[in-house]
Amino acid sequence: MGHGTQVEKKEMALSSSPYVYLPVDIPVYAVEVTHKDDVDADLLQKALDRTLTRMPYLADTLQIEGGAVYYAANPLPMEVGRGKSLRHVGGHETNYHMLDLTCDGNVTRFAMYHGFCDGQGINTFVESVLYHYYCMRDGKEYDPCGIRTDAGTMSEAEEFDPTSITREVSPDFEMPQRQQQGEPYHLPELSRYTGCEVRDWRLQVDSDSLMSFVKSIGTSPSIAISMFVAEAVAVAHPDEDAPIFANVPISTRRMLGCEETFKNCSFRVILPLRGTPLDALPFDQRAVQFRGILKQQMSPDMWHTVYNMLRTMYLTRMEEATDYWEEIKKPTTFTSTVNHDTFYIDYIGRIRETGYSDNITDVRFVCKPAAGGTLHLNVIDHGGQFRIDCLACGDVTAIVDALEQVFADHGLTVERAQEVRTTLPATAWREGIEKPDTAC
């Protein structure tokens, strides 16, 4: 870990295995919160301390021993950084913490290593820090509205690893046969990219207007927006020569019965948006069909089976391994079969709102698109608007132009923000660990 610091090894990081065994470190995942007023950094530190008092596991780190990765208690302090730049999470800059918090002027920036927790995991961190900050700043106790605060007590369920147990599956359940998926349409303007600069084109649409449209066609926001994006891709690339698939990250907490955990509990489902027989149906009928496809892929029995297989695969691998760097060179079923589709769309929902929420003018989730070679949309409902951040490591202006027009064609008015560019530093959680020259 560096500097002779001793950490207390805890449980294996089983649910994090698909991330910690990647041969390269992925850039940080960031949440940028803009406030009406400048942030008091000293008060923000106190809010961070109160958050960690309630959820001490958020201050943990990851430790490699042999070929296995473990959570470990980190005795070093978590300190608020000051400045515009994000820090290298997991290394000496953040005292080896896997979550980080910085501030500059009226902006706070939260960052995480995706192998430590997932999007809902960092949300609990963001919500708690903001809650404690505004309670202290305003001298009052706001209604927490489900936010974890230091007025409550920690439960064991919050640290539960979704892959740590074998789950029951209905005796008559059979996993559906994996249908052969043709190579999806890849956006020609996005080539493989190794840098960490992410370009962000934002569209904003009134929440009530979008939800009214979504309800009128009997579907959900993520499906409707996905369909709009597929239309935009077809407009920008009328010569598309392969099916358009959306990759939709989902939380499996409810299906696995571990709603309280902060750890990785996310997976993905696929929507075949264009290039199938469904193309012949009217828009509203396709929307209903896509919702059905989404639900079919969210069977508890199916996810129990998937996690049982992951448990067997990774637990065996971690218990038998003797060298971590040899392990990350081995292909796995999970990482070798992930198909990075035409685009990703992550419907994040919203950060919990309460009495101080009017002081928060913007929330933006930023991540590097998968492998740097796809389009990634983060969607959040905040302040009466759906904020759709179109993230890419290349120029997708033509697609965003087309998407803006698609919204208008469906009777929805959008506001378009100026393009923003963000450099996401690589995580540094393996910093200081001896890496042989032959490692990937």
Burial 80-95 (b: 16+ CB within 10 A, else e): bbeeeebbbbbbebbb
Q: What is the pLDDT of residue 1?
A: 55
Q: What is the pLDDT of residue 194?
A: 61
Helix or strand run (H / E) with residue 338:
none
Q: What is the pLDDT of residue 433?
A: 66
Contact 272, 281 (CB under 8 A): no
Q: What is the pLDDT of residue 333?
A: 52
Sequence-distant contacts of 421-424: CB under 8 A, at least 24 apart = 421/197, 421/198, 421/199, 421/200, 422/30, 422/197, 422/198, 422/200, 422/366, 423/85, 423/86, 423/196, 423/197, 423/198, 424/27, 424/28, 424/30, 424/86, 424/196, 424/197, 424/198, 424/366, 424/367, 424/368
Beta bridge partner(s), residue 107: 34, 104
Distance CA 246, CA 240 (A): 15
Give me the half-sphere count of Cα atoms (radius 13 Å) on the Cβ side of residue 438: 6
Render each residue's pLDDT in the chain as its tens digit; 440 residues: 554 456 789 999 999 988 898 888 889 999 999 999 999 999 999 999 999 999 999 999 999 999 899 999 999 999 999 999 999 999 999 999 999 999 999 999 999 999 999 999 999 999 999 999 999 999 999 999 999 999 999 999 999 999 999 999 999 998 887 666 678 899 999 876 666 789 999 999 999 999 999 999 999 999 999 999 999 999 999 998 899 999 999 999 999 999 999 999 988 889 999 999 999 999 999 999 999 999 988 999 999 999 999 999 888 888 888 899 888 887 665 544 455 689 999 999 888 888 999 999 999 999 999 877 889 999 999 999 999 999 999 999 999 999 999 999 999 999 999 999 999 999 999 886 655 443 33
Main-chain phi, psi angles of 216, to 5 degrees: -65, -25
Beta bridge partner(s), residue 104: 107
All structural domains of the chain, each given as residue ranges with its CATH number in brackets, are 8-145 (3.30.559.10), 197-423 (3.30.559.30)
What strands lie across the sheet with 8-12, from one edge to the other?
A: 8-12, 68-73, 61-65
Beta bridge partner(s), residue 247: 270, 344
Q: What is the pLDDT of residue 340?
A: 64
Distance CA 95, CA 60 (A): 11
Contact 354, 142 (CB under 8 A): yes
Nearest in space to 184 (alpha carbons), one of 292, 250, 274, 301: 274
Q: Which residue, chain included where needed, has tokens 């002027």? A: 105
pTM of the full structure: 0.93
191's CB contacts (< 8 A; 6+ apart) are: 373, 394
Quick one: angle between helices 221-236 and 397-409, nearest 10?
Answer: 120
Q: What is the pLDDT of residue 431?
A: 84
Q: What is the pLDDT of residue 341?
A: 81
Nearest in space to 121 (alpha carbons), one of 50, 40, 15: 15
Q: What is the pLDDT of residue 5?
A: 59
Contact 159, 264 (CB under 8 A): no
4's CB contacts (< 8 A; 6+ apart) are: none
Contact 366, 392 (CB under 8 A): no
Q: What is the pLDDT of residue 198?
A: 94
